[in-house]
Structure 1
Amino acid sequence: MTEHFHKPTNFPSGMFEAFMGGEDPAQISRVAHETAHALLSRVREDPDSDVVDKLVSFTDTHGIDAIAELWSRSNAKSLPGALWRIYLLRLLIRQDAEGTSYLFQRGTEVVSTIDPVVAGASAPTGPAEITELADRILRGLFEGDFAVALDRAAAFCRVTAAGCASVADDQDTTQPERASELTTRALRFSRTAEELTSCARLWRHESLD
């Protein structure tokens, strides 16, 4: 991917050694932050559409492991933590576009906030629309307003959480295990929404490290 940049992106020499056994959490954290800042600043400086396309679809070709190794252990309210969560959301959507779109659509029917509008999915929201939304949010990190992209992702999470909770209520009597699973998922989406909203706020104050 680096051949598409005008200049090579310089990462620390100990980038990969830091992950050999995970013996130095401080070094792992440093590498996570440095790679996230290097990648984001370089692409946003010159958002070539081909490069952005490759970054959006990176996990489709290479899987999530490489990104997870770099960023998954980062603090939720940090730049690498935010990038990890957006990539993970996109992966979850693409793995089950039909199920996710159903939960999101249900959420739009029960929430009384502007979150469906902020998220920006086409209505009604089916598998194709929810997949497109995931791609547009991720692209927004690299070529749009970074904080807005985070806010859209947070809104998506809140709407989907509401959908999970609503479907869980429907199934509480007939399928209690499924209802419990959906309730847990709703809590996870809600927590992720809070984390992304905090990241957006920090970015606007130039404090997202």
Structure 2
Amino acid sequence: MSSHGSSAPRFRRPAPLYDSVAATIPGEPDPATSSDLAHDSARALLDGVFHSSDPEVVERVVTLAEEDGLADLAALWSNAPAATLPGALWRLYVLHTWSQRNADDLLRRYRAGSRTVPGLRYLSGLAEPPDVDEVHRTMDAILRGAFTGDLALALRRAGAVATIVAHGTAHLADEDADDDRTRQAERLLSTGEALTTAGRHAEAGQLD
């Protein structure tokens, strides 16, 4: 996704959580090993943070993907199906990272899309009218809530944000006759639908 500037603060990249795990993998693991590792690491991370009373542990996980951290998560989770725990957490981290680095761009798209699907604004949790600081706070709260509160609700809120932004991106693409934005809108809509579906699975206790 393209950036039109960012007012997001720069964060120090935390140490990767999975050095010891990665060191045990010689070269490219087979698909079965990759799938097991993706699911086991996602569940271990979620359970470990949920049962931790240490605020530094929570903060480390929330900022895990800052700077170059998405590459670490991509190696573990990016190939996981959308309706699985690692697939859902991957999409949640990608959306969060984009919002932190390009909040002004996301905000422009969100404002354009909120007129099309106004009902989703309440689920997203973004105050009206939102600003860049509100985007940062809300997306942090959604990611934090996935690990410390209600995973299903966090995924549904993230799905609502992605869906609204997808509609806004489509509107902007129509205005500018921009094929790249049209493709972005399609990907964002797919992400929103995937997160919403994952939220329903989580609510039913079926997100593995």
Structure 1 and Structure 2 fold alike (TM over 0.5) = yes
Q: How far apart are 1:204 and its partner, in Å?
A: 1.6
Structure 1 length normalisation: TM-score? 0.84
CA distance in 2, matches of 1:135, 1:69: 23
Say whether residues 1:153 and 2:158 are aligned partners: yes
Change (3 A) 1:61 1:182: closer
The CA deviation string for residues 7-61 of structure 1, in whole angstroms up to 9 with x for no partner, is xx9x8x865433x432411101101111111111121123532211111112225
**Alpha carbons of 1:47 and 1:106: their partners in 2 closer, same or farther (altered >3 Å)?**
farther
- What TM-score do the two structures reach when normalised by structure 2? 0.85
Deviation string 1:61-96 (CA, Å, 9 cap, x unpaired) is 552211111111111111011111111111111221
RMSD of equivalent CA atoms? 2.1
Whose radius of gyration is greater, 1 or 2? 1
Larger displacement relative to structure 2 (61-70 or 48-57): 61-70
Hey, what's the Cα distance between the residues in 2 that align with 1:23 and 1:58? 23
1:129 aligned onto 2:134: yes
Residue 196 of structure 2 corresponds to which residue in structure 1?
A: 197
Query: How many pairs does the alignment contain?
Result: 193
Query: Within the alignment, does 1:206 sit opposite 2:205 as a pair?
Result: yes
- Between 151-160 and 86-95, the greater mean CA deviation after superposition: 86-95
Does residue 1:101 correspond to 2:107, yes or no?
yes
Alignment of 1:162-177 (within 5 A): 162-172=167-177
CA contact (8 A) 1:33 1:80 kept: yes
Structure 2, unaligned runs of 5 or more:
1-13
Paired letter, 2:207: L
Alignment identity in percent? Answer: 35
What does 1:1-209 align with in structure 2 at a 5 Å threshold?
15-18=22-25, 20-60=26-66, 63-112=69-118, 114-172=119-177, 179-209=178-208
Higher normalized helix content (fraction of residues): 1
Post-superposition, which runs of at least 4 consecutive aligned residues in structure 1 deviate over 3 A?
Answer: 13-18
> With CA pairs under 8 Å and 6+ residues apart, which has the higher RCO, 1 or 2?
2
